[in-house]
Amino acid sequence: MNKKQGFTLIELMIALAIIVPVLLGAIGLNVYVFRISERSRRVVVALEDAHTVIERIRNTSETSLAQVATTYPSGQAVAGFNNLPSEQVTVTYPNAAADPLVMTVTVNWSDRQGTMTRALATQVTHR
């Protein structure tokens, strides 16, 4: 009796035809999840930076709102933020003499999709 052991070439080809697309799909999904995760991390960092600026402004407002307008001029970049690629944090407000001072803190940075932007709005008053 001649008993064959092992796999035939056809069986190996069918197994590869099933395994290869599954592996490629898993690798593609892993890359996609990594990109989404990285984008989410950058958004969180941007919002943390905006929140940090708002807290600094609130601490400055204990002195006076005029001091806020002097320390954080409307439309100008706030120095000291480089947590993201090409990051720029700006503070804008329509009326520096208003009480409460309505302001928007905007964070811009570079990403694979281009320039990303996140903004937080708040009101600050003299304490």
53-103 confidence digits (pLDDT tens): 999 999 888 888 888 888 999 999 999 999 999 999 999 999 888 888 899
* SS3 state of residue 75: coil
> Please, are residues 83 and 98 in contact by the beta-carbon 8 Å criterion?
no
Q: Whose CA is closest to 72, among 98, 93, 91, 97?
A: 91
The reply to whether the predicted model has a pTM over 0.85 is no
> Please, are residues 91 and 97 in contact by the beta-carbon 8 Å criterion?
no
